[in-house]
Amino acid sequence: MSGVTNPALFDELCTITANELERFGTRSSCKPKHVLQMVEKLAAAGVRGMAADRVFRVAAHCLSFKGYKDENVIQSMEKGWFGFHTERSLLLLWRFSTRQRKQRSFLETAAEHWEAGSTNIASLHDVSHEKSSWWNAFDDPTKPLVIDIGCGFGASLLGLADPTSADGDKTVERVGVSHCNFVGADLSRIGIGFGKSVASRWGIDGRLQLVVASAETILEEAIERYPGVVKLVMIQFPTPYRLVANSTSVERPDDDASVPSDGSPRYNSQLPANKISGFMVTDDLLKLSHEALKSDKTTNTPGCLLVQSNCEDVAVTIRKMAVDTGFEWDANQFVAKYDGSISEQARTPQRTSTW
């Protein structure tokens, strides 16, 4: 359904699903997992309105009838809290995204094959960039801008741009998202088409634009073309480079490469080889981000770079690169805090332990 903007179609799907659940949802042949799979897909599609509320209430009744143990899920469906940004829906989108081939890697491989038989091969930017004047599509293009690099399905920006979804994140509060425009860039046409369809159906496409473009391209266009100031650049969970490890060798984040001594490295071969070969975050990218985030001359307020990674070594590497580029690290603002009730084993990923 990526790219479908007609809300009536999704309302009809919700109505059909609700009718079917009322018909067979309490039968023994219909398991709780079947009910959850139906409503999770609808929620992940961004359905809203009376038809969506009805199907979630019917699903809650079926789950309750079958003795489903997670009362929080049932309650969220009954009270209208279940939707696009609930954990189960976002997890479904994440699982789908992990099955998609990384677009930059695909384009680079395609270019290598074409170069062998063609003397006129387009650059990666030309191949991947969707021609559009996104800066002119905003209702008010003079508002401050938030840029999400590698936005995927646009889930973060959909939450920030939608006044009913934005939360109280400290970085978000500093920027003041209620007065901002938003643009996300990704090389996946499936992800961008999906996010654009949800934004259109939610009625927020006047302040949120999603574009098929490289990270460098969207930053260059923001610097050269956007009438307002850039207040926030987000780099969230970039695909990590390989952490090569064996019994005698572990790659540190400052290493350019790792050559295992026993000849049998252990790593995910689909990941970028190291931080300077295929990794999305480069010195040039950070320099462009720094240029885009120059102080607003009217208030002399610097913009923010928000980096998130679930790989501690990657986060440390990006932080060092950003500081070397000219960013100032705000240690008081970004401090990871752990709940003491979580065991050390549960909260420390294997990659972090190895590093």
pLDDT of residue 190 exceeding 60, the answer is: yes
pLDDT of residue 295 exceeding 70, the answer is: no
Q: What is the DSSP letter of 165?
A: T
Least confident of 17-26, 136-145, 172-181: 172-181
94 CB-near residues (< 8 Å, 6+ apart): none
Residue 24: both structure tokens together: 């067979």
Q: Which amino acid is at 75?
A: Q
Phi/psi-derived region of residue 326, left when phi > 0, alpha when psi is between -120 and 50, beta in every other case: left
pLDDT band (50, 70, 90) for residue 257: very low
Across the range 233-239, mean pLDDT stands at 92
Task: For residue 288, give the 3-state DSSP assignment.
Answer: helix
Q: Are 146 and 234 in contact (CB under 8 A)?
A: yes
E-strand stretches of the chain: 145-149, 181-186, 208-212, 230-236, 304-308
Across the range 49-57, mean pLDDT stands at 97
Q: What is the mean pLDDT of the chain?
A: 82
Within 10 angstroms of residue 338's Cβ, the number of other Cβ atoms is 9
What does the pLDDT read at residue 167?
Answer: 56
Least confident of 99-103, 220-224, 324-328: 99-103
pLDDT of residue 168 exceeding 80, the answer is: no
Residue 340: both structure tokens together: 């003491």
**What digits encode the pLDDT tens for the residues 104-126?**
554 455 445 545 554 443 443 44
Chain position carrying tokens 């954990």:
87
List the end-to-end C-alpha distance of the chain, in Å, as a whole number: 41
User: Helices 71-78 and 50-65 meet at what angle, rounded to 10?
Assistant: 150
pLDDT band (50, 70, 90) for residue 84: very high
- Cα separation, 351 vs 313, whole angstroms: 8
In 3D space, the residue among 51, 53, 57, 58 whose CA is nearest the CA of residue 14 turns out to be 51
Q: Are 222 and 147 in contact (CB under 8 A)?
A: yes
Across the range 266-270, mean pLDDT stands at 65
What does the pLDDT read at residue 91?
Answer: 93
**What digits encode the pLDDT tens for the residues 124-160?**
344 445 566 999 999 999 999 999 999 999 999 999 9
Task: Say what percent of the chain tops pLDDT 70.
Answer: 74
Alpha helices by DSSP H, listed for 70-188, are: 71-78, 87-98, 103-115, 124-128, 155-161, 170-175
